[in-house]
């Protein structure tokens, strides 16, 4: 029912346009529409020149580059390849030297409340640099060298950012693994990246509970080392944990022994900065590789443009550092831009539904960037907790991770933004490194439901199945014809898969995996993934991964996982499962299988629903007909062509299993 309402509202408000609010536009960096248009046009005419200039304007280079884009080895882009720089130098040292040494870089709030008082830590740029210098030394003393991989499995505490920046400072490559992933997922990623050191914490606080992260690391490493020589453990929850002599070290002890000295190591622009795992259509998660100069240029420039950042802003992006949004728009973009970043460790409903609004009011947050799924959750809680708080410090709002339904957009604008704040709906991906499509908030109308126009220097297109350009409003595949500096360079250890996944659907052109249409004004409307990747609460989940987890259970014979629309999470996972002969179907087993998936992958992949079937619908060639399952999961009925079904009875059986 909810969905119907939403659809009705969407059609009514689809055409609403929101001009930049006057007070916002009056102060915006970019407030002249003609200048913005000219910028877009000149950047489109020569994207390489645009990005060269951005790289010069936004970053400090230890050795200036002379080369711009090198696409001679397509699809492997090189940007600014003969230049040298260091990411932590750009995020810290140059601000310390340039007048921001005493400006807050990070303001962090922990989840627990002691009485009514939360723990708050502020690190100025000077203090953050000192911590990063020490941490860099600790890593070096533990044998980490340029190019070595370091896995980071942390709660959202300042040490997570310190660890990332310390790796960058010495040219080590980090791979941050979201703290919600299971031991199995962690082990896979540690092994695939070839990490030699793991940085973790005893635990972190979430919904009033201590998440015991170190236990998960111990389970992941098991008795073998998997190439990991050392584990650094930050003390956060102070719960008892096991420390393995020789392998495990307390972060605070090593930090105390280190000195806040040491220069950043300049590396070539194409030196790897990080590997971040994300789900794909097939097989295991892929390690997306991002490098140094192009990536930092892209995230710094787009951060400033899209968030119209000023020195007096307090910017809060609610993403965890375990995701790309946390890399690009919690740590690297904002710090390279010299902004003040707010971080919150815990859950929005702890101790009650006031927490986020209380945070905004107490800290005077001015920019708030979150996911549509969070907004829909807040909507479902009602307006009372929000209206109790003074949110007038907010001047700009953003969303990321999934399409935002217009009803949620308008609610965000009115209820949270008080009608004063533009909303930047930002479309991008782990693979794109940074934002590609989003409004420039001071000069552009926002339209609920669309991320609007590409940023300057970005050239997306909508194409048909054979790569032919589509006319306005015709749906098609979203592709990028021209390379951009933040684009992924490869899949770690699997270059063939990189080419195959992104550059073969339309030969030689980057395919995003998303379907979209462009309207007559040029706005891009993202319609969602066209592959077997699902988006649950803004998190990408590969159906294959969940299926593999299910069939690893001894009682499961076959499994197929599809998405169905969900009013809060966007999509929800529905698993169709056949059991081994003689196994009885019952709700306890369904629950056990949901739990099994959470244990194998992490709670974020737990299916909303497990349905048992006698058999799965297959084509004559044995392929599972996911379309039918999707329809069944979503609408409860199946329409369209079923003539290739091998066994019509199966379909009936599935329908019946709904009751
Ligand atoms: C989806 C997150 C519509 C899209 C930064 C994309 C969006 C996938 C939006 C990437 C948006 C992200 N509107 N859809 N504003 N932002 N998506 O890698 O399907 O976790 O391909 O990166 O999320 O998810 P990822």
Question: Residue 11: is its pLDDT beyond 60?
Answer: no
Q: Quick one: 266 and 313 in the same domain?
A: yes
Asked whether residue 260 is domain-assigned, the answer is yes
221 and 335 together in one domain? yes
**264 in contact with ligand 1, CB cutoff 6 A:** no
pLDDT of 495 over the 50 cut:
yes
What is Dmax (Cα atoms) for the chain?
A: 73
Cis, bond preceding 404 (omega within 30 deg of 0): no
Mean pLDDT of 484-492: 98
| Rounded distance between C-alpha atoms, residue 196 and residue 150, angstroms | 6
Domain enclosing residue 571, as ranges = 533-658
Q: Is 91 contained in some domain?
A: yes
Q: Residues 245, 292: one domain? A: yes
For residue 83, the model assigns a pLDDT of 98
Looking at the fold, whether 51 and 134 belong to one and the same domain comes out as yes
Atom number of ligand 1 nearest to Cα 533: 19
Of 529, 557, 576, the one marking the end of a domain is: 529
Supply the CATH number for residue 95's domain: 3.40.50.12780
Is the same domain home to 74 and 152? yes
367: CB partners within 8 A, 6+ apart: 307, 309, 313, 314, 315, 316, 394, 395, 396, 397, 398
Are 619 and 548 found together in one domain? Answer: yes
Instruction: Please identify, among 381, 401, 425, the residue that sits at the C-terminal boundary of a domain.
Output: 425
What separation in angstroms does the CA of 601 have from each of 160, 182, 360, 556? 22, 5, 33, 17
pLDDT of residue 651: 54
CA–CA gap between residue 430 and residue 488 (Å, rounded): 8
DSSP structure string for 331-387: IIHHHHTT-EEEEE-S-TTSSSTTHHHHHHHHHT--EEEE-HHHHHHHHHH-SHHHH
Q: Are 123 and 158 in contact (CB under 8 A)?
A: yes
What does the pLDDT look like over 360-376, one tens digit per residue?
A: 999 999 999 999 999 99
**Looking at the structure, do residues 604 and 510 belong to the same domain, yes or no?**
no
* Residue 528 clears pLDDT 90, i.e. is over it: no
Which residue in the block uniquely carries the two structure tokens 């693979």? 431
Question: Domain for residue 500, yes or no?
Answer: yes
pLDDT computed for residue 305 by the predictor = 98
Question: What pLDDT score does 639 carry?
Answer: 64
Distance 549 CA to ligand 1 centre (A): 24
pLDDT digit string, tens, across residues 253-293: 999 999 999 999 999 999 999 999 998 877 788 999 999 99
- pLDDT at 652 (0 to 100): 53
**Residue 2 CB: number of other CB atoms within 10 A?**
12
Burial (CB count <10 Å: 0-12, 13-18, 19+), residue 646: middle
- Ligand 1 binding pocket includes 450 (Cβ within 6 Å): no
| 175, 163 contact by CB (below 8 A) | no
Helix H or strand E encompassing 592 = helix 587-600
Q: 8 pLDDT band (50/70/90 cuts)? A: very low
> Is the model's pLDDT at 654 over the cut of 70?
no
- 78's tokens: 């090189």
644 assigned to some structural domain: yes
Q: Is any atom of ligand 1 closer than 6 Å to the C-beta of 324?
A: yes
Q: Are residues 516 and 539 in the same domain?
A: no
Asked whether residue 448 is domain-assigned, the answer is: no
Distance 5 CA to ligand 1 centre (A): 24
What distance lies between CA 299 and its chain's CA centroid? 13
Residue 636: per-residue pLDDT: 73
452 found inside a domain: no
pLDDT value, residue 282? 74
Last residue of a domain, one of 529, 550, 570: 529
Helix 587-600 × helix 543-551 angle, to 10°: 120
Q: Which residues contact 189 (CB under 8 A, 6 or more apart)?
A: 151, 175, 177, 181, 277, 285, 287
pLDDT tens digits for 383-410?
A: 999 999 999 999 999 999 999 999 999 9
- Ligand 1 center to residue 552 CA distance, Å? 29
Three-state SS sequence of 143-168? CCCCCCEEEEECCCCHHHHHHHHHHH
Q: What is the pLDDT of residues 134-161, one digit of tens each?
A: 999 999 999 999 999 999 999 999 999 9
204-241 b/e (C-beta count within 10 Å ≥ 16 → b): bbbeeebbbbbbbbbebbeeeeeebebbbbbebbeeeb
In a domain, 420, yes or no: yes
Query: Which residue minimizes the CA distance to atom 5 of ligand 1?
Result: 429
Percent of the chain with pLDDT over 90: 87
pLDDT tens, 498-509? 999 999 999 999
* Cα–Cα–Cα angle for 369, 371, 373, rounded to 5 degrees: 150
Judge if 332 and 229 occupy the same domain.
Answer: yes
The residue among 230, 255, 86 whose CA lies nearest residue 144 is 230
| Together in a domain, 208 and 82 | yes
DSSP string, 473-524: T--EEEEE-S--TTS--EETT-HHHHHHHHHTTTTTSEEEEEEEEE-TT--E
Strand partners, 78: 70
* Mutation probe of ligand 1 site: the residue of 524, 540, 570, 571 with most atoms within 8 A of C-beta: 540
Q: Is 325 in the pocket of ligand 1 (CB under 6 A)?
A: yes
Half-sphere exposure of 318 (CA within 13 A, CB side): 23
> How many residues appear in the chain?
659
Ligand 1 in reach of 430 Cβ (< 6 A): yes
For position 559, which CATH number holds? 3.30.300.30
Residue 435 CA, ligand 1 centroid: distance in Å: 10
Answer whether 438's CB lies under 8 Å from 397's CB: no
Q: Is the pLDDT of residue 340 over 90?
A: yes
Q: Which of 295, 73, 65, 258 is nearest to 174 (CA)?
A: 295
Domain total of the chain: 3
- For the entire predicted model, the pTM comes to 0.94
Residue 619 confidence (pLDDT) above 90: no
Instruction: pLDDT band for 12, please (50, 70, 90 cuts).
Output: very low
Q: What is the CATH number of the domain that holds 502?
A: 2.30.38.10
Mark whether 221 and 267 lie in a shared domain. yes
Same domain, 55 and 163: yes
Residue 426 Cβ contacting ligand 1 at under 6 Å: yes
The answer on pLDDT for 653 being more than 80 is no
Q: Is pLDDT larger for residue 524 or for residue 658?
A: 524
Q: What residues are paired with 70 via a beta bridge? A: 78
pLDDT for 578 beyond 50:
yes
pLDDT value for 466: 87
Domain presence at residue 445: no
Atom number, ligand 1, closest to the C-alpha of residue 513: 21
**Phi, psi dihedrals of residue 608, rounded to the nearest 5°:** -70, -30
Mean pLDDT (the chain, rounded): 93
Closest residue to atom 25 of ligand 1, CA basis: 429
């Amino acid at each position: 029912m909810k969905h119907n309402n939403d659809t009705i509202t969407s059609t009514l408000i689809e055409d609403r346009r929101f001009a930049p609010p006057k007070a916002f536009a009056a102060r915006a960096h970019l407030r002249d529409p003609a200048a913005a248009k000219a910028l877009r046009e000149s950047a489109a005419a020569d994207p390489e020149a645009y990005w060269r200039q951005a790289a010069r304007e936004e970053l400090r280079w230890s050795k200036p580059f002379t080369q711009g884009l090198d696409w001679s080895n397509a699809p492997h882009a090189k940007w600014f390849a003969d230049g040298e720089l260091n990411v932590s130098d750009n995020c810290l040292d140059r601000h310390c030297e340039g007048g921001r040494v005493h400006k807050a870089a990070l303001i962090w709030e922990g989840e627990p409340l002691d009485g009514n008082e939360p723990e708050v830590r502020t690190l100025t740029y000077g203090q953050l640099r000192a911590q990063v210098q020490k941490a860099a030394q600790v890593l070096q003393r533990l044998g980490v060298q340029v190019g070595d991989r370091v896995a980071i499995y942390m709660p959202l505490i300042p040490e997570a950012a310190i660890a990332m920046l310390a790796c960058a400072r010495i040219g080590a490559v980090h791979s941050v693994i979201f703290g919600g992933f299971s031991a199995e997922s962690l082990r896979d990623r540690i092994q695939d990246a070839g990490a030699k050191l793991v940085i973790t914490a005893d635990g972190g606080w979430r919904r009033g509970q201590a998440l015991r992260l170190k236990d998960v690391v111990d389970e992941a490493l098991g008795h073998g080392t998997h190439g990991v020589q050392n584990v650094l453990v930050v003390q956060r929850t102070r719960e008892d944990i096991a420390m393995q002599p020789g392998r495990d070290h307390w972060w605070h002890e090593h930090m105390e022994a280190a000195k806040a000295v040491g220069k950043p190591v300049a590396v070539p622009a194409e030196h790897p900065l990080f590997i971040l795992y994300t789900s794909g259509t097939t097989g295991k998660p892929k390690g997306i590789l991002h490098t140094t100069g192009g990536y930092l240029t892209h995230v710094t420039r787009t951060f400033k443009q899209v968030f119209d950042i000023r020195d007096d802003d307090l910017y809060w992006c609610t993403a965890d550092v375990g995701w790309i949004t946390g890399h690009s728009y919690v740590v690297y973009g904002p710090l390279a831009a010299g902004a003040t970043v707010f971080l919150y460790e815990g859950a929005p409903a702890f101790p009650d539904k006031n927490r986020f609004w209380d945070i905004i009011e107490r800290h005077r947050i001015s920019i708030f960037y979150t996911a549509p799924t969070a907004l829909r959750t807040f909507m479902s809680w009602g307006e009372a907790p929000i209206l109790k708080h003074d949110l007038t410090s907010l001047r700009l709002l953003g969303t990321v991770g999934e399409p935002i339904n217009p009803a949620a957009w308008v609610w965000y604008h009115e209820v949270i933004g008080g009608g004063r704040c533009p909303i930047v709906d930002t479309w991008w991906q782990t693979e794109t490194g940074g934002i590609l499509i989003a409004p420039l908030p001071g000069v552009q109308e926002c339209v609920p439901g669309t991320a609007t126009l590409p940023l300057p220097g970005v050239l997306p297109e909508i194409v048909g199945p054979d790569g032919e350009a589509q006319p306005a409003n015709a749906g098609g595949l979203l592709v990028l014809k021209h390379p951009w500096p933040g684009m992924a360079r490869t899949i770690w250890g699997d270059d063939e898969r990189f080419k195959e996944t992104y550059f073969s659907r339309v030969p030689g052109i980057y395919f995003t995996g998303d379907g979209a249409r462009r309207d007559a004004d040029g706005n891009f409307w993202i319609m969602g993934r066209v592959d077997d990747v699902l988006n649950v609460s803004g998190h990408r989940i590969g159906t294959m991964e969940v299926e593999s987890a299910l069939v690893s259970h001894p009682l499961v014979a076959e499994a197929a996982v599809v998405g169905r629309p969900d009013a809060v999470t966007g999509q929800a996972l529905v698993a169709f499962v056949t059991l081994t002969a003689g196994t009885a179907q019952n709700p306890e087993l369904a629950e056990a299988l949901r739990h099994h998936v959470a244990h194998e992958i992490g709670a974020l992949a737990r299916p909303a629903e497990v349905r048992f079937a006698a058999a799965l619908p297959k084509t004559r060639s044995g392929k599972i007909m996911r379309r039918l399952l999707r329809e069944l999961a979503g609408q409860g009925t199946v329409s369209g062509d079923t003539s290739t079904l091998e066994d019509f009875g199966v379909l009936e059986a599935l329908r019946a299993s709904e009751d």
